[in-house]
Structure 1
């Protein structure tokens, strides 16, 4: 099984770097264009690899009786990263599929993902308190909030034009939080041979990307409102 673990570790690293380096391309390229779509799918495939491999490695370390308490704690974090990244990426894709909906949406899988994210976030945070592990206490709050936002979106009738647009980029940017955080916590310290980093460094991706989500929302809201106003003037 250790050989299988090493295999998943390798593809996890590959998938992580693919997602890390392709994430910015859809952000800065023309939305809906060929480059945006292709880079976006490469990013999604990278995140699928990351999520599946993270889930396996986390479960393996937790169930392995030889793992240290620190390894088990980080493995729970790895499992949560898998849930957060897969849930956010799935949400970002599904809102496009149902962008024409006019009523509440109650598909079991679409509601199930955010519910798993919400309750796993609560569970991991409680576990972090019992282990006095700050990363596990505070980081799951990101997942809890995203789970609530996703459930609210599905269970309410769309009230804003282009609602799917906002939810798509917020879902994908939310997914990137897990990618960059995992790299900050695991990847960068190992590449730079740093034994430990400040807990504040773990939250830098969240601190940077959350305002980006809000900023993009404001920008596109004004952009779409401007288009509506221009059309109204022409009429």
Structure 2
């Protein structure tokens, strides 16, 4: 078995673990033991899948063997299985890392300004720019679209990290939800980029298929953001009427 095939098997195992575990903390009671346990499993599964995706992308771009010889358009192959897979792998890692970090540093969000976290965000931004520019050069709007989504997400994270006014004590909850749901979106998008072209290549550029993970993810982000804001809103006590 070649190195690339070994990486594919490991990637499928890690990714499947993350894809299954991803829905359990969403369904579980927020903040409970089950939520935290399955949330960590999903994050570590996706981080492992992301690392393996990066390795496979680099092998596809610079390895000695030709991958998927059935794909005759090698520029398109380099785009989808090279630069786009590299970017989506780093984006998945970035979302998972940030989602865990905002909880870990909930009381000291300034810790997210450290080089260790900023380096991950910088890697995501750099890979998004390469993905988008390569998509522009070969005329693939899909690569540009997913790159814009990642750049927007990283910009929102940086606004939270570098804001001048300290956030409220529970502001990290919304960031946590957005990051980990974004992690799920990027992982499912990566699955479609790699899986669809292998199984149903005629649907690989169907915009409805590609829009599905983002649509579900955005709905979940809005739902949990509104729920977090309601929970964070100050509760007013009813006025007590004085008895005459």
Q: CA deviation at 1:93?
A: 0.7
Partner residue, 1:62:
61
Range moving further from structure 2, 133-142 or 79-88 = 133-142
Distance in 2 separating the partners of 1:54 and 1:103: 30
1:163 to 171, 183, 207: 171
Partner residue, 1:196:
202
Distance in 1 separating the partners of 2:18 and 2:111: 32
Distance in 1 separating the partners of 2:109 and 2:35: 27
Distance in 1 separating the partners of 2:226 and 2:125: 26
Distance change >3 Å, CA 70–CA 188, structure 1 → 2: closer
Is the 8 Å Cα contact of residues 96 and 180 (structure 2) preserved in structure 1?
yes
Is the 8 Å Cα contact of residues 91 and 171 (structure 1) preserved in structure 2?
yes
The number of residues matched between the two structures is 229
Aligned-residue RMSD, C-alpha: 2.1
Is the 8 Å Cα contact of residues 115 and 151 (structure 1) preserved in structure 2?
no
Q: CA deviation at 1:208?
A: 2.0
1:85 to 92, 95, 98: 92
Partner residue, 1:182:
190
Distance change >3 Å, CA 105–CA 86, structure 1 → 2: closer
TM-score under structure 2 normalisation? 0.86
TM-score under structure 1 normalisation? 0.89
Max Rg structure: 2
Residues 171-196 of structure 1 deviation map (CA, whole Å, 9 limit, x = unaligned) = 10011111111223333564xx4222
Q: Secondary structure at the match of 1:139?
A: helix
2:133 to 126, 139, 157: 126
Partner residue, 2:108:
101
Distance change >3 Å, CA 73–CA 97, structure 1 → 2: same
Is the 8 Å Cα contact of residues 85 and 179 (structure 1) preserved in structure 2?
yes
Distance change >3 Å, CA 104–CA 59, structure 1 → 2: closer
Distance in 1 separating the partners of 2:187 and 2:2: 24
Is the 8 Å Cα contact of residues 95 and 182 (structure 2) preserved in structure 1?
yes
Distance change >3 Å, CA 215–CA 158, structure 1 → 2: farther
